[in-house]
Amino acid sequence: MHVVVGGAFNGKRKWVKKFYALDDTASYQWFCGYDEQIHIADLFHTKQFEKITIIEGIEQYIFQIMNQFAEWRNYWDMMVEAWRGWEKEGKGTIVVIGNDITKGIVPVDQQERLWRDTCGFCFQDLVKKADRFDIIWYGLNERLK
């Protein structure tokens, strides 16, 4: 698993497309958390994944999980383990892209603070289990793992 994190509009999508040579001829699956038609359940079942599967806007999916499941941590762990199992079977690579919403001003709204904290926990889980971790700022990557 490859985790890519950075600020909003800092070039994460463009960097991933270039790094993995994703063009019109490449075979890949791209899930975008900003598309309201894609739900967290779509990411739990790996049968629809391609050799390269990108999950962009993971913080949006995390928001769905924490609002739909009282035991969000269990659901999250099972989903990440399903991704890892898919990769271990040699089926491909999962690239997770997230906006780092854990920095900056702490939100006044309790729900937004909870979301921010939950993203922090989930990002830590992802990075620990990832094979590679890059931070993207202004289109430049820094590989930390």
Q: Does the structure show a pLDDT above 80 at 121?
A: yes
By the 8 A CB rule, do 62 and 119 touch? yes
pLDDT score of 40: 84
pTM of the full structure? 0.93
Phi, psi torsion values for 72, nearest 5 degrees: -60, -35
Q: Which whole number is the average pLDDT over 8-29?
A: 93
Cα separation values, 71 from 14, 19, 21, 77, 92, Å = 34, 36, 38, 10, 29
Q: Does the structure show a pLDDT above 90 at 24?
A: no
Q: Which residues contact 100 (CB under 8 A, 6 or more apart)?
A: 5, 6, 7, 123, 135
Average pLDDT, the chain: 93
Q: Which residues contact 116 (CB under 8 A, 6 or more apart)?
A: 101, 102, 106, 107
